[in-house]
Structure 1
């Protein structure tokens, strides 16, 4: 081998290793660690039912100075555990098929929400997911609705103690809260809830005084401290909302949904983004959970995303303020607001958008720029799952359907690859004929391609086709809660998490955690399915024609190794898809190449190895 080729060879190996190392160190490793920690750490807060009476001592600071604004300001410092804070004030218990928790009668806050159908880990005894927590508890997170006024004393605030007409809020029985300000205004709040995650709050005020009163409806969600986020570039976590009419403080965005990360809002001038429009919704989105305040969809509102504080824990607030209303003596005014607090189930979110007329509420789920592929992919997977009862099996079936859909196009590509592989001896002969003239080699190769009717780049087409499908499936597996804790077979009990086995622990026989090693531990998460995927990719690469360039040949040889480690921390469902797709591709390519008269030595040798030996004929 010439010195130039040798240098290129080592350069290719170095680049391959560098790519793998950079991916693992800066991306897959840290993300795996976060996922691993989130699976192993339990939320210490929550009783599952939330039935105990409770409340939060203290409250956020006063309203923002100036004109009437949604309440805001710093949340109180941690005063105790969730249970201790909940026990400090009177509460109305929430008891529905999907939600447990309570409403704080001091301030009328929605600050105690537990999701009955979801747990922290796949262990059925692990704690239920706690979404909302009261002010004064760790990770405080709550919602409010009501009225504000330039004269704050005339409207309810977080120190107001409401009177409830019953002790428990259920799907069948709404709760009515009342408060008289002692100055001629009586406020009433009727709270109802469905069997999922939507509260409907009807706030009204009756003016029995001698002077008119001016009020403005508002809704807000406040989150105390930046939550732990997955940090994946394909997933948005943070502020989210759809405000018809655009962005009042900045250039209007091209997408209908407003998505702002926690870090981004802290860098904004004034640490606030303002929007104006009619209706819509706004709140926060996590990977699987979301919250939103939803005004009347025809009412003009001013909305904002904001951050209050310069050091963590910062208070992040999403709020809206409705149109000012003057209530004359003897008159009344009523407004309806909804609060969503729950799991981002696709069917549930879609039903809210359709049945309640909430504008673009389906964008609470981050389908991404390629939603036109991602959403149909989910629909197909979900439909098959409802028949077979296993999302892993559904992934296998969808892979077959995709292969069938692209079968004609892929066949033409594989036929071109077969022709390319067939003329490999002629290409090798050209190299021997012109060993020192690269330009002549390339010229003669192009003439050879023309004579044989070979397109050297046509073999890449199946991979190019697979990329958007792969990305769509990755997005579906990663973002949809339907995939969370979905089992396959054997040791795969959660398709949305990495394969839990590890070759570096002899698949659990050695009692140590190599992923905990500083700096290099994330390299050492390599389960059974990623290994199977690497083997399937190796066989697939062997089916393809070898590149003429030695550098490319070396890089292609390293690809199965690189992808094995890269996919080691990917969701198991995605690795299973990739393995199955590689297997189907190898079978398809072998059939086409054999039919085209191409001898596939690797597979022929394997078949001879495992084939049953034929008995010898006597006398021969």
Structure 2
């Protein structure tokens, strides 16, 4: 009994810790996120109003850290339009920089009339975010393409998924740079630079690339998901560095060739794949000189171009949404090592990604990710049915011999050694393994966490509707019992928010717990009674997809346990336990 009491005290403390974490950590972060998003929306509206009054030259982007001359300022107004099925924006001819990019298929909110997602913004904006490829040379090489270089584009040039654009630049040493930029129908840009040396002396120059952003994302990061710097670089393999870590110290992997690097958010990313044959030095850093900025960059070893000769360098730039099929296709098509790790599948990668594949399979047939969650849960339950059967069978057998165990406790009293030996003998005679009910649960934990991970991280779940009032499976249930599920004209505070699906989940959890007898110990019984309510409030701020999964999983567990208990001839306690809760206790005489 003492061991049981300690066990339930540990559970109670764990629940209290989770509640404290939810109340003092998660809820303030959710409130901060909401306020930040509102402020960002207001700022965008203000910027749009200001942009109307500006001249084209004033709205042109200037290279980070540079003050453009009058000639350069005029040139910076020149841009090449980008228009593909997935992307809209423009290329800044100053630096041939990708600094204006919007994602046509994604809106800022679930409302289809809301603005589409802006990924890249020019360097003269508050939330600047851009990608650039250039060169570094010495005096003998002459000027080489960099941030301030103004490229020449054909008149009327327009980058589409069918029509690439060609930019040119010629320096005073007779070196001509011809850059051909193409883009597919999703998010991959191919940059091919041809360097021709028409001079009389060899030239040596190094290719560089960078992804630069001024600010961190407004969405608070969580321990479940990596946001920040990312890359797969040589022998160092997968590198993930948080913004806060790089603020303290730059990350400089060992020199290598191949791989890729960039910056990732929850749903979006920008990465560069350098020319794969030449070794390069990579770096994740935070600069405070002038404009503070975060930067993932590389610098390749110098290549030499002899007089009358030319070299060609090919780079790739990914800028867009982290759609799983698209990312997987790029990994295969361009042979980018471990590019699928751009999506944070976590430690249980070998479970998480197949879980998504299964869910995506159901989605393609039924067209609803909520239905896909329900069907995936059924498949997982079916796969684990043998283990669950052993678990519930063990529980059923333990209940069956409970009267004999009580007799042994009464017989041996405080003789714990004798009681233990007698109970082991009883288990042996009844062919019961007392730990058989534990290890199946342990084996299922990674699977359930993987399903949670899939629902939380994949963009396919973003703004995906279910039925009724659930318009976004990645957001909390929008209803709340505090305002009578929307009937009253005010919003509930975050910590009191309790929607319909969390209530359904709580009811299913209550029924699942009532499948077993109520513990005789008052402390245990109290925990037993309060846990569904605690979990209702705890999960109320979680994505609706997760709450729906949890409620459905509880329902299947009740059905599954009932069938197994019935098969083993053990009484199902559910209905009796529910009746006991509502049965008034008789008054005791004094």
Say whether the fold is shared (TM-score over 0.5): yes
In structure 1, the partner of 2:587 is none
In structure 1, the partner of 2:584 is none
Query: Which of 224, 229, 232 pairs up with 1:239?
Result: 229
The CA distance in 2 between the partners of 1:407 and 1:366, in whole Å, is 29
Query: Which of 30, 33, 46 pairs up with 2:31?
Result: 33
The CA distance in 2 between the partners of 1:87 and 1:547, in whole Å, is 78
Deviation at 1:222, TM superposition (A): 0.9
The CA distance in 2 between the partners of 1:188 and 1:567, in whole Å, is 56
Query: Which of 271, 274, 287 pairs up with 1:292?
Result: 271
The CA distance in 2 between the partners of 1:10 and 1:358, in whole Å, is 50
The CA distance in 2 between the partners of 1:197 and 1:474, in whole Å, is 27
The CA distance in 1 between the partners of 2:384 and 2:5, in whole Å, is 40
In structure 2, the partner of 1:92 is 80
Q: Is 1:134–2:122 an aligned residue pair?
A: yes
1:70-89 alignment runs, 5 A limit = 89=77
The CA distance in 1 between the partners of 2:75 and 2:196, in whole Å, is 32
Asked whether the equivalents of residues 304 and 318 of structure 1 are also in contact (C-alpha less than 8 Å), the reply is yes
Asked whether the equivalents of residues 367 and 374 of structure 1 are also in contact (C-alpha less than 8 Å), the reply is yes
In structure 2, the partner of 1:391 is 369
The CA distance in 2 between the partners of 1:202 and 1:309, in whole Å, is 32
The CA distance in 2 between the partners of 1:503 and 1:243, in whole Å, is 50
In structure 2, the partner of 1:156 is 145
The CA distance in 2 between the partners of 1:11 and 1:472, in whole Å, is 28
In structure 1, the partner of 2:288 is 309
Q: Is 1:406–2:384 an aligned residue pair?
A: yes
The CA distance in 2 between the partners of 1:433 and 1:32, in whole Å, is 56
Asked whether the equivalents of residues 210 and 272 of structure 2 are also in contact (C-alpha less than 8 Å), the reply is yes
1:98-497 alignment runs, 5 A limit = 98-151=86-139, 154-165=143-154, 166-246=156-236, 256-268=237-249, 271-309=250-288, 314-428=292-406, 445-497=423-475
Secondary structure in 1 matching 2:234: coil
Asked whether the equivalents of residues 397 and 432 of structure 2 are also in contact (C-alpha less than 8 Å), the reply is yes
> What are the ranges of 5 or more consecutive residues in structure 2 without an aligned counterpart?
581-590
The CA distance in 2 between the partners of 1:297 and 1:8, in whole Å, is 59
Distance 1:553-1:456 versus aligned 2 partners, 3 A rule = farther
Distance 1:87-1:218 versus aligned 2 partners, 3 A rule = closer
Asked whether the equivalents of residues 420 and 545 of structure 1 are also in contact (C-alpha less than 8 Å), the reply is no
Asked whether the equivalents of residues 217 and 323 of structure 1 are also in contact (C-alpha less than 8 Å), the reply is yes
Deviation at 1:359, TM superposition (A): 1.5
Asked whether the equivalents of residues 135 and 206 of structure 2 are also in contact (C-alpha less than 8 Å), the reply is yes
Deviation at 1:8, TM superposition (A): 7.5
In structure 1, the partner of 2:22 is 24
Deviation at 1:16, TM superposition (A): 5.8
Distance 1:551-1:462 versus aligned 2 partners, 3 A rule = farther
The CA distance in 2 between the partners of 1:283 and 1:460, in whole Å, is 43
Asked whether the equivalents of residues 75 and 150 of structure 2 are also in contact (C-alpha less than 8 Å), the reply is no
Distance 1:35-1:475 versus aligned 2 partners, 3 A rule = farther
Secondary structure in 2 matching 1:490: coil
The CA distance in 2 between the partners of 1:485 and 1:334, in whole Å, is 42
Asked whether the equivalents of residues 13 and 554 of structure 1 are also in contact (C-alpha less than 8 Å), the reply is no
Q: For residues 172-192 of structure 1, give each alpha carbon's deviation from its aligned partner in whole angstroms, at most 9, with x where no partner exists.
A: 111111122233222221111
Distance 1:340-1:6 versus aligned 2 partners, 3 A rule = closer
TM-score after normalising by structure 2: 0.87
Secondary structure in 1 matching 2:252: strand
Distance 1:466-1:279 versus aligned 2 partners, 3 A rule = same
Deviation at 1:285, TM superposition (A): 0.5
Deviation at 1:505, TM superposition (A): 2.2
Asked whether the equivalents of residues 257 and 279 of structure 2 are also in contact (C-alpha less than 8 Å), the reply is yes
Deviation at 1:23, TM superposition (A): 2.4
CA RMSD of aligned residues (A): 3.3
In structure 2, the partner of 1:15 is 13
Asked whether the equivalents of residues 145 and 217 of structure 1 are also in contact (C-alpha less than 8 Å), the reply is yes
Asked whether the equivalents of residues 297 and 359 of structure 1 are also in contact (C-alpha less than 8 Å), the reply is no
Deviation at 1:310, TM superposition (A): 7.7
Greater CA drift, 214-223 or 4-13: 4-13
Q: For residues 600-619 of structure 1, give each alpha carbon's deviation from its aligned partner in whole angstroms, at most 9, with x where no partner exists.
A: 243268799xxxxxxxxxxx
Greater CA drift, 536-545 or 335-344: 536-545
Asked whether the equivalents of residues 62 and 76 of structure 2 are also in contact (C-alpha less than 8 Å), the reply is no
Asked whether the equivalents of residues 168 and 179 of structure 2 are also in contact (C-alpha less than 8 Å), the reply is yes
Deviation at 1:406, TM superposition (A): 1.6
The CA distance in 2 between the partners of 1:102 and 1:120, in whole Å, is 20
Asked whether the equivalents of residues 12 and 554 of structure 1 are also in contact (C-alpha less than 8 Å), the reply is no
> What are the ranges of 5 or more consecutive residues in structure 1 without an aligned counterpart?
63-74, 77-84, 247-255, 516-521, 609-620
Q: For residues 75-106 of structure 1, give each alpha carbon's deviation from its aligned partner in whole angstroms, at most 9, with x where no partner exists.
A: 99xxxxxxxx9996111110000000001112
The CA distance in 1 between the partners of 2:122 and 2:269, in whole Å, is 17
Q: For residues 16-37 of structure 1, give each alpha carbon's deviation from its aligned partner in whole angstroms, at most 9, with x where no partner exists.
A: 6632432213443234335545
The CA distance in 2 between the partners of 1:589 and 1:381, in whole Å, is 25
Secondary structure in 2 matching 1:398: helix
The CA distance in 2 between the partners of 1:125 and 1:449, in whole Å, is 66
